[in-house]
Amino acid sequence: MSRVSVIIENHIAQVRLTRADKMNAVDQEMIDAIITAGQEVAASDARVAVLSGEGKGFCAGIDVSGLSAMIGKDPADLLMPRTHGEGTTNQWQEVAMIWHRLQIPVIAALHGVVYGAGLQLALGADIRIAAPGTKLAVMEMKWGIVPDMGGMVLLPRLVRSDVLRRLTYTAEPVSSEQAERWGLVTELADDPLAAANALAQTIAGKSPSAIVAAKRLIALAESGVPAQDVLNAESREQADLMGKPHQMEVVAAEFGKRMPVFK
């Protein structure tokens, strides 16, 4: 049985973890399925993607029963080769980073538990909407290891250094309410999937080329490059968008609707 389902309708990709009997715990099949789903969405006409999980929780983390296959092997041989992301990631990191690199916006709808690998998957999204009472944890320290699925790239973009350290050092779950205050969660909703879909519909209704350009520009701005590079990129993205056929007429028409008429 597939670990992940992908349904694309009205330019919205619904990507759902479907291992509900195991709280969507991540095993090798799930890793492969999540990466394949990301590739499918990237090749589709989707303008926005929604990540969610079936059952009682979004994702309980790594299925530790599957780690026995690593016993007796050199971990460096498994972890260090850059096998995915055009030579930038290993397979575990690609689980989160494929969504972070996606050209279109990604929204994660979170409920129940969002632990370890599940949290790092959610960090790959642009926006995280969580149900009240959801528990989130950087779980790896519980096993005497460190976050290694993209968390150290993605977490520092969202939370202060002291929050990052507390989450990492303790492995203690925090509530979605606390996570929202820290910036780990974007907003709370009683039905996070419904809220994510409503937001996805809004985004899907906007100019797809402008949305892609905006995500690209935001990523550059967050990368720490010099301000002048960001300013140049702003101008280039805008010039490319406004140079599209009839785009200036659209902009003028929209401004005309909103500008007050003075007499």
The full set of domain ranges for the chain reads 4-204, 208-258
pLDDT of residue 1: 57
Could you tell me how far CA 99 lies from the centroid of its own chain? 5
Comparison of pLDDT for 79 and 186, the residue scoring more: 186
Q: Which residues fall within 8 angstroms of residue 86, CB to CB, at 6 or more apart?
A: none
pLDDT for 64 = 80
Per-residue pLDDT band at 20 (split at 50, 70, 90): very high
Task: Please give the backbone phi and psi of residue 62, each rounded to the nearest 5 degrees, phi first.
Answer: -70, 140
Question: Does the global pTM surpass 0.85?
Answer: yes
Residue closest to 38 by CA, chosen among 59, 13, 21, 56: 13
Residue 198 pLDDT more than 80? yes
Q: pLDDT at position 68, please?
A: 60
Is residue 85 over pLDDT 70?
A: yes
Average pLDDT score over residue span 157-175: 97
Max CA separation in the chain (angstroms): 82
Question: Which two structure tokens, joined as six digits, stand for 234?
Answer: 């702003």
- CATH value of 208-258 in 3.40.30, 3.30.70, 1.10.12, 3.30.160: 1.10.12
What is the rounded average pLDDT for all residues in the chain? 92
Cβ atoms 137, 119 nearer than 8 A: yes
Reading the block at residue 33, the tokens are 């399925």
What's the confidence (pLDDT) of residue 113? 98
Architecture per CATH, domain 4-204, reads as Alpha-Beta Complex (3.90)
Q: Is the pLDDT of residue 247 over 70?
A: no
Write down the pLDDT at residue 75.
84
**Does the pLDDT value for residue 18 go beyond 90?**
yes
Q: What is the mean pLDDT of residues 202-222?
A: 96
Q: What percent of the chain lies above the pLDDT cut of 70?
A: 90
Beta strand 127-130 with 106-110 is parallel
Is the Cβ–Cβ distance between 126 and 118 less than 8 Å?
A: no
Band (262; pLDDT cuts 50, 70, 90): very low
- pLDDT at position 263: 37
Between 130 and 77, whose confidence is greater?
Answer: 130
The three-state secondary structure class of 59 is strand
Query: Looking at per-residue confidence, does 260 or 261 come out higher?
Result: 260
Burial class (CB in 10 A: 0-12, 13-18, 19+), 167: buried
